[in-house]
Every structure is written in structure tokens, then in C-alpha cells.
Amino acid sequence: MQGMIKVNFRDLETLEFPEGTTYEEISHSFQKYFGYPILVAKVDNHLKSLKSQLDKKCDIDFYDRSSIVGNTVYSNSVQLLLIVAIKQLFGKDADVQIEHSIDRGIYCELVGENLTKAVLSKIEAKMKEIVKQDLIYTKLSVLRLDAIKYFKKKNQMDKVNVLKYISNSFINLYRLDEEYDYFFGEMAPSTKVVDEFKLTYIKDNGFVLSYPNIYNPECTLDYKHHEVVFEEFLKYTLWGRNIHISNASDLNKIVSMGKYNEVIQLAETHYESQLAKIADIIYERKGEVKFILLSGPSSSGKTTTAKKLSIYLQARGFNTHAISTDDYFLERKDTPKDENGNYDFECLEALDMDLFNRHMSKLLDGERVLLPEFNFITGKKEYKKNYLQLKENDIVIIEGLHAINDILTMSIDKKNKIKIYV
């Protein structure tokens, strides 16, 4: 006789289910707490496929595509869906090379087949057809050496090289239809829950796979092409190929050979050469440019870039000054809140834009300005005799999450500023 096992969901509900019940079946009892189909379970703080079975008393939680964890599962699942659709349409020799994230999507290149807008429409239609078929994502634990033999036979050397540097005896493969592939992480239970996506043609054999993200989980937003950002990604990809590093397995090979110092030196030289070019551009506009606006995501290297660029500019005769937009936060009591009632420090409106514009305008006019320093403990600006007045060869590097947003420097003429995105 099957025993009954207690399941505690978020300390909100405790229910009993027969031993051997799948987490997918259990998830139906808690779907009411979610706005989108549940994709994966967390059992005693360990992620589990919904196809796994209940075998002991546990604390359980679930994730849909509106969460970071769930959205990663959604991304993996829709990528495998794309691979299978291409194989079904064009045969086993056709493939897709998944390159990098870009504007709420992933840039991909079709391999073994010429890509046109009409061809891309066929791929998208085939993906939707597979969604309606409600095919199961099956997780298989196989010997790593057997997986290497399998991918070698199919001439998928990128996967062979990845698996060479994994130390585990067993690895997980996923099967959808007749296609096997290696992915890190979990998959959705079936294709019916990954029904939101779009394919957008870029050029040559490139396209973007878009799907809902945690900020817009309800639908897939249209891809917005930014040519400058796209070209920079492309340059970086080509540079990687030139130094024989196109993916993680290439890097693993170099590390295993003890040549990682050479890679570090190459990367730093490439980075420094970009800074030198930027410094030359600024020097060519000497006397006109007074503000360098430097922005980028968290941990992208904004502060490091600001300090290094400062050295390059000083070598060209500039006196540099650093300003962080973080020092222009509104007082804590005036900071906007998000939909959950928490302070939203990352939105543009969290900055005192009026004060910032006034200060930058005064600096441009040659006036002496007392700059603030934000105290993150008290949540207030403090003024500690940090005065700044710009002279002929002075230039200000402004660093922050929203530094390149025109609203932040609306009072400054375009000719007086240069934008850098890291």
C-alpha cells in the first residue's frame, strides 16, 4: 500500500500526496499561487524536474517564467525547441549556433542552410507546431564517455569538447522528439508551457530568439535592434575566434595546458587598446568635451574603466575628476518604491536629476560647485567641502547605471559630452 507523504508549500499550505507522485502532479495543487505555468520545483532547496517523483516529507516551492530560476528553465527549453524545429525542417546536418544574449533575447546563427525571412518564418511555424504536439522533455543520466561517443558520431565537436573537461562520470542529457542535447540546468515538463517566443531576422544567417523575461513575463516583446551594440558583440566574437577562443571548451583547453596567463594578457591588451582609442577621440575634441558619461550593468567594470581611462587622459594632458551618480540619490524618504513597496534604487527617478543638471551646468559655465556625497546609512546627501571648478584642461568622468541617459544630462549640449557603455 502506498504511503502518504506531507508536503509543505512556503509555510502556506501542507498537503499529503501518495509516494511516487510526480512534482508536476503536485504542482497542480499550487498553480493558483502563480500567474504562469509552473516550470520547475525546488525540493528542500534543491531544484528538481517536475517529472521527478516524491519520495520523502519535504518543503517544496515552484517557479514559473516570471522568476529568475523559472526564466532560465524557460530559456533552456525554448532553445532545445528551436534546435529540434530546425532539425525537423532541414535534416540532421542543419544546426543552430547560439551566440549571446541581446535585448531580451538570444542571437543565433543558422548553420548548414541559407537563412531568409521566409525560412525564419518556417522555423517559427514549426516551433509552434511542436508546442501544440505537447512533446515531453526527457532527462537522461548517461555515462559521460558514452555521450562523447554519441556527439562525436554526430560530428558535434563543440559538445564533445565541452564534455571532455567535465569530471563527472555521469552527465544529464535532454531528449525532445528524437534529438538529444546537453544543457546545464533543468527543462520544462513539455513543450506546451513554452508557447511564447518570436524569431527576428537580422542579416546574413543571423536571427534573434526572443521570449518573455522576468520584467515582461506576460508576453514576448518585439526585438529592438541596436546596430552599434550588435556590431560590438560581433567584433568581440570575431576577436575571440582570432585568438582561438570561441566557447568555454576552447578556454578550458587553454587552462588545462597552463596557458591562461597568455589569455589574460591578450584580454587586458585588447581592453587597454580600446581605452587608448577612446582617449584619442576625446583628445581630438579637446576644449569642447567636458563630460565623459560612463555606464553599464552591475559588475561590468565601470569603476575600473573610469580609473584606467583617467590615466590615459592624464597622459594626454587632461586633469580628470570623477563624479558618481550614486552621490545624487534622492533622500531616502523621497525614493520611489516598486510594486512590492520596496525602495527602487535602480530606476532613473531615484536620482535627484534637477540637482545633478544644475551642478553640471554650473561646472560647464566655470562656476565653483559644492558636490554632495551620499550617506547610504542615513539615506541623505552630505556636503564635506568637496568643491569642484573646471579649468581649461579639466574633464569630468561621470560613472553610474544611468549616466548615458539623456534625461540625466538634459541641460548639457551634446557637443560637450561623450557616452561610453561598458
Any idea which residue has 565541452 for its cell? Answer: 162
232-281 pLDDT, tens per residue?
Answer: 999 999 999 899 998 888 999 999 999 999 999 999 999 999 999 999 99
143-155 pLDDT, tens per residue?
Answer: 999 999 999 998 8
User: Which set of grid coordinates corresponds to residue 221?
Assistant: 516583446
The residues, any chain, with a CB within 8 Å of residue 138's CB and separated by 6 or more, are: 51, 174, 175, 176
159-203 pLDDT, tens per residue?
Answer: 898 898 888 999 999 999 999 999 888 999 999 999 999 999 998
Mean pLDDT of the chain: 93
Q: Are 287 and 392 in contact (CB under 8 A)?
A: yes
- Strand pairing partners for 136? 190
**Confidence bin at 1 (pLDDT 50/70/90):** low
33-55 pLDDT, tens per residue?
Answer: 999 999 999 999 999 999 999 99
Range from 121-135, 216-230, 236-250, 254-268 that averages highest in pLDDT: 121-135
Residue 344: predicted pLDDT: 87
**Confidence bin at 109 (pLDDT 50/70/90):** very high
Question: CA quadruple 405, 410, 412, 413: dihedral positive or negative?
Answer: positive
Q: How far apart are CA 342 and CA 357, in angstroms?
A: 27
Q: 302 or 209: which carries more pLDDT confidence?
A: 209
DSSP per-residue string spanning 151-196: HHHTT-HHHHHHHHT---SEEEEEEETTEEE--SS---SBGGG---
Q: How far apart are CA 139 and CA 160, in angstroms?
A: 19
Any idea which residue has 504542482 for its cell? Answer: 27
267-316 pLDDT, tens per residue?
Answer: 999 999 999 999 999 999 998 999 999 998 888 888 899 999 999 999 99
Q: Are 330 and 350 in contact (CB under 8 A)?
A: yes
Q: b/e string for 36-68 if b means 16 or more Cβ within 10 A?
A: bbbbbbbbeeebbbbbbebeeebebbbbbbbbe
Classify residue 394 by burial, with Cβ atoms within 10 Å: 0-12, 13-18, 19+: middle
Give the Å distances, CA to CA, from 302 to 210, 307, 399.
28, 9, 7
Residue 158: predicted pLDDT: 84
Averaged over 386-401, what is the pLDDT?
94
53-106 pLDDT, tens per residue?
Answer: 999 999 999 999 999 999 999 999 999 999 999 999 999 889 999 998 988 899
The residues, any chain, with a CB within 8 Å of residue 262's CB and separated by 6 or more, are: 254
Residue 92: predicted pLDDT: 86
Q: How far apart are CA 259 and CA 332, in angstroms?
A: 49
User: Which set of grid coordinates corresponds to residue 129?
Assistant: 507546431
